[in-house]
Each structure stands twice: as structure tokens, then as C-alpha cells.
Chain A
Amino acid sequence: MGARSSPWRQMLRTPSGAVGATIVAVYLIVALMGALGLTPYSPLEQNRIDRLQGPSREHLMGTDILGRDVFSRIVKGGTNSLIVVSLSVLLSTTIGATIGVVAAYTGGLTDNLAMRVMDVFFAFPAILLALLVVTVLGPGMRTTIFAIALVYTPIFARVARAPVLALKRTEFVEAANSIGMRRGRILARHILPNAVAPIIVQISLALSWALLTEAGLSFLGLGTPPPEPSWGQMLAESTGIAEIAPWLLIAPGAAIMLSVLGFNLLGDSLRDALDPRLRGSR
């Protein structure tokens, strides 16, 4: 991934890559705004007189049943989702990729054992594994982060393992071995740089899954605890009153869908840019 191939620039030149990058940039800006408290109103402040108002100049996305400003809640919800999504993906990438690389490079019994353990985790549908974690730790933001991380760690282990297994048998690694290079150095110098591409693609896809899982857990009331806003929880709150206040459904629904779409587009075009063999096949 030197300046020679510059897959990033290549990716931004495709329409889907550019759209994806733009959406993700907006998502990040919104989340940052929420983190800095740059919302028109307090996302938690209730104003019973102004409840269930439609979108207007005062309230861009209207107000909810407790008179809270929906736009402010969407912004703060973006912050909460970014915290969960980024930390959980960071955790699962670090742990998963380490397990995968070490297992593949060591090989033999370690590799076999690590992959059997990963198989066990693969036997659980993602939402079920997350629910099991919620059962043990109780609902909350930290639990959500840990639950999503646990779901995606085996996936990263598997994604990191495959290229290392292939690279281990290449001639340049054998050459490095034969001149007596230390194993750690071979791993850092020759194997890791070549195994990074699939991991990067996986990260962008995992970000979109993590976002969906966070929203799903919050929808079930097991994610970000109220009154702290989260998109999934706002969507759940809209059921029953969306008939008279459709903005309560549209705002969080569009927020979830657009962000996931952004990460998906970014991931797809990154994969095309990093793996020319697959270009245009998706």
C-alpha cells in the first residue's frame, strides 16, 4: 500500500466510494458535534408544552412525546453510536487480528485450537451472542461495546489468518527465514504489511454491522440506557405514535440507514480498490 497504488485515491474516484466517504464524513462531523455539545437544544431537556411538534424552524426534526428536540437527540445519538461502534471495532480488530496472525504464523496445535474456539463463537447468531453478554453483564453502553466486540473478534481472527497462512509459504518469507531473520521481524516486516488489505476492508464492513447491532440492542431496550438518546431506542419509541408524528420514525430511521449505507459503500469500494480481481463484480 505505498503511494504507487494509492487505493484510497482510487477509491474516492469511484462514485460509490465518493458517496460513501461523504456520508461517513457527515456521520463523523455530526457525532463530533454531539460530543462537543453543539446541539440547538439539550438532548435530554423535556418541554411538555412543546411536545409532538412537527418539523419547523425552531425544531428542525420536530419534538418527541416529552417535548425533547429530535434533531438534538439525533446528533447526540450519533455521538453515542460512534463511541460504541468505534470502540467495539477497535477491540475486535486488535484482539481478533492478533489471534488470527499468531495462530496462522505459529501453526500446528495453537492454530488448530484457536480456530476450534472461534468455531464455537461462530455457532451463535450475532444477536444471540450479544444478548448472552447482556444477560451476564447487564444492559449498558459498556456491555454493548463488549458484546459487539465479542461477536466480531472471531471474524477478524479468520480474516487475518487466511493471508498469513498463504504468505507464510511464499518464497520471500522462506528467503527471509533462510538468512536467519528472527520470526518477529519477518512477521512485522514481510507478512503484516501484506495482510493488511483484507483487514481494512473488514473494518469498514464491521463498522456498519456494529452500527446495526448497537441500534438493534437499543431498539430492544438493551443498549444505550435512556434517557441518553440512541437511534435504535428512538425508533422503538416511535411505534404507536408514528401515525400522528411520522418525523419520530423518519429521523432515526434515516439516520441509521444512511450511516450503514455510507459504511457499506465505503467498504465495497475499498475492497474493489484493494483487490483489483474483484473489481466490478459486486
Chain B
Amino acid sequence: MLNYLFQRLLLAIPTLLGVSVLVFVAIRLVPGDAVTAMLGTEAGLLTETQRASLEAYFGLDKSPVQQYISWLGNVLHGDLGYSVRLGQPVLELILDRFPVTLELALLSTLVAVAAGIPLGVVAAVYRDTPADFFGRLFALIGLAAPNFLVATVLIYVLSVYFGYLPNSGNYVGPTKAPFQNLEQMMLPALTLGLAFSASVMRTTRSAMLEVLGQDYVRTARAKGLRDRVVIGRHALRNALIPVVTLTGIELGYLLGGTVIIEQVFALPGLGRLTLNAIAQRDYALIQGATLFIACVVVLVNLLVDLGYAAIDPRISYGDDR
């Protein structure tokens, strides 16, 4: 297990290096020079010497490779640069906003698991009955409705029929006012959880169907175990393995994919920070935020892989591999 952990960590390093190169190159591909990009229209007021000294200060007079190496060195020291627009270090901004995104992603996952797994189990156990049909219909709709559509419809229905307007005012942290925070998070989490629960439901259903057809389940039934025990203890446990994988991977993507929902519900998360950075051409922030999100995704995927071993005793990452 420890060997495997090291192996996977070693394999993650080239991926992360690749991610950093990609982000670095992408920002360098933006048309126009970096000083103009950083200062906007004010760059036109610079004299030749001011411009040259700024370029020297930011290391722009060096070769791209040298620039990359010094940038990477700074990144490894936790220095992701400085957002000129927001007047704060990039890392500080990211760490300030990330908890909002993390909370949203975790709550959505909770919704998805709480709704998706029972629905999937019921659909599989009562296969080809109305229950199964409605479960599958739910999944089809959930997967076909993009989250920004669900959000728009949800806001519309709640405001027109229930006179409720989502609180899009100032965001409050969960430690300050837990209930108010939960109220603000409820709609976005439900929105993201809908599509997510649809895919959890489908995976649970197909995994359950596969497991329910296996010999050991028939044996368990034949020796007279009650249905609840067969389904809960024998079938579901094994069927959950692909579900856990899916949940982990989707959670990873949610951490960087809540951009639109944060925008719709005016949540000050990492996605909205990135989107605003793109709108304002705040390159240091775009670079830092995308790099951060990609690292989180790689890390979550690594954890998911390690999670296999914990829930599936058949998989061991020992030296026999």
C-alpha cells in the first residue's frame, strides 16, 4: 500500500508539471504584451525606461524558459503572484474563496448520494416496474438539464409560485451564521446535486443489476436470508465500488466546475473569482486559480484511487502487483 502510494505520488508529479506548463504557455499566448495586460490603458502613459524597468522587475526580459523556471520556483514557494486588479496576493485570494466552493461541492455530493443511491437500488431491485421507469426518467431528465437551466427554472418557480427570492445578498460563512449560510447554499447545492444524483443513480442501478445476477447473491437468497440483508449487506456493498469512484471523480470536477452556478447565485467562490479574473484579464489570478484547481483535481483523483483499496478488499496495492 505504501509502495503504491509513492508510485501514484510520483506519477502525479509529471501531470502537475504538465499542468503548470500548459497554464504558463496559455497565458503567454494571449495577444499583446504582459505590461499592457497588467496595467490596462494606463500602460500607454509609461515612458520607455519605465516600461523597460517594469519588464525587468517582472523578469519579462528573460527567455520564456527562464521565466517559466523562476515562476515555477515561486509557485513551489507558495508565491502565485500578485493580482494587480484586486490588490492582493493570488494565493491569499484563492484560499479566501476556496472554502465556499468546497462547501458547495460537498453539499452537492451529499444531495447526490442521498438521492442517487436509494433511487438506483430501488430501480435495480424493482427492475422493469413503474418505480424503475420513473427512476430512469428522473435520471434522463437530470442528465439532460444543464445546471444553469435548473438554476434559472428553480429561481423562477420559487419566486413566482412561492414568493421566495433566493438570498443573493452578502454571503455569510458557515461559522458565522450556519443557518443563513445553509439557506444560501441550499439552492445551488440542490441544482448541482440534481445532475450529479442522476449519474449516481444510473451507476448504482447498473452496478446493482450486475451484482444481483451473481451466484453468491443467489446463494444468500437460497439459504433463506431476508431480502433486506441480501440487498443491503451482500449486493449493495459490492455495487458501491463503481459508485464511490464516480462520486470521487465528479467531486473533483465539481471543485473546478461550479463556475456557472456560483455566477448565477452570486456565491463568492473560486469559480466566480476565476470568471471575474477572465473578464478583467487578470492574468496572474487566472494562472494561479487554474493551476490550483487542476492540482486539486489531480489530488482528489489520487485519493479516489487509494479509496478503492479501503472499500474493496480484493484490490490490494502490495508488492505482488
Contacts and interface: CB of A to CB of B under 8 A. Distances in A.
Interface of A: 116-117, 119-121, 123-128, 131-136, 208, 212, 215-216, 219-220, 222, 232, 235-236, 238-239, 242-243, 246, 249, 253, 256-258, 260-261, 264-265, 280-282
Nearest to A259: B144
A120 B255 CA distance: 17
B149 A125 contact: no
Nearest to B206: A281
Contacts of A120: 15, 18-19, 21-22
Contact of B257 (A126, A134, A208, A256): A126
Contacts of A243: 156, 159-160
15 contacts: A116-B18, A120-B19, A123-B294, A124-B256, A127-B260, A133-B26, A216-B148, A219-B148, A235-B148, A235-B152, A239-B264, A257-B141, A257-B146, A260-B145, A264-B143
A128 B256 contact: yes
Contacts of A133: 26
A131 B274 contact: yes
Contact of B260 (A216, A239, A253): A216
Tell me whether chain B's interface is mostly helix, strand or loop, or mixed.
helix
Contact of B148 (A116, A232, A265, A282): A232
Contact of A281 (B140, B159, B209, B260): B209
User: Which 4 residue pairs are nearest across A and B when measured between Cβ atoms?
Assistant: A120-B18, A125-B256, A261-B144, A125-B257
Nearest to A282: B206
A281 B207 CA distance: 8
Tell me whether chain A's interface is mostly helix, strand or loop, or mixed.
helix
A215 B297 contact: no
Contacts of A116: 14-15, 18
A260 B146 contact: yes
Contacts of B160: 243, 246
Contacts of B18: 116-117, 119-120, 123
A18 B26 CA distance: 43
Contact of B146 (A128, A132, A256): A256
A234 B160 CA distance: 20
Contact of B290 (A128, A134, A208, A261): A128
B23 interface: yes
B290 to A, nearest CB: 6
Nearest to A129: B290
Interface in B152-169: 152-153, 155-156, 159-160
A29 B312 CA distance: 49
Interface string B175-211: 0000000000000000000000000001001100110
B278 A134 contact: yes
A195 to B, nearest CB: 23
A134 B286 CA distance: 12
Given A131-B278, A136-B29, A253-B153, A212 B146 contact: yes
B109 to A, nearest CB: 15
A264 B260 contact: no
B30 interface: yes
B22 A253 contact: no
A224 B226 CA distance: 58
Nearest to A134: B278
Interface string B69-113: 000000000000000000000000000000000000000000000
Contacts of A222: 278
B246 interface: no
